[in-house]
Amino acid sequence: MQHHRHTVKIPLRVSDHPILARVLREPTLRVMVFCAGEGHGRQDITFPHQSEIKVNGGEVKANLRGLKNKPGSTRPVDITKELRLNLPAYSNSVEMTYALTNKAGGESFQV
């Protein structure tokens, strides 16, 4: 993956995930995007350096890198306001595009 871009696409429908209907009724609930460098065990939130998140075609502006030289300072990305949850059958499109990852041993980030 050192020279190519890769996109992970996740469709989200309220009809498929009924918990999303509660987000409209309870303003304290949030839908967040997390990413980690491994697939198991306790992990810091970390996104690949060259990555972007889009919801329903629009780019989400967020700090995906955290503070310089401070592992664990990256926060999850709140996508609640970008989702269209009032239409249960609407298929929200959540996309994360990343490039130039060079994880040792062919490991990949876990979204």
Under 8 Å between Cβ of 92 and 84? yes
Element spanning 78, H or E: strand 77-78
pLDDT tens, 7-64? 999 999 999 998 999 998 998 999 999 888 777 888 888 888 889 999 999 999 998 8
Band (pLDDT 50/70/90 cuts) for residue 100 is: low
Q: Are 5 and 97 in contact (CB under 8 A)?
A: yes
Residue 54: left (phi > 0), alpha (psi -120 to 50), or beta? beta
* Closest residue by Cα to residue 110 from 4, 10, 3: 10
Whole-number pLDDT of residue 111? 56
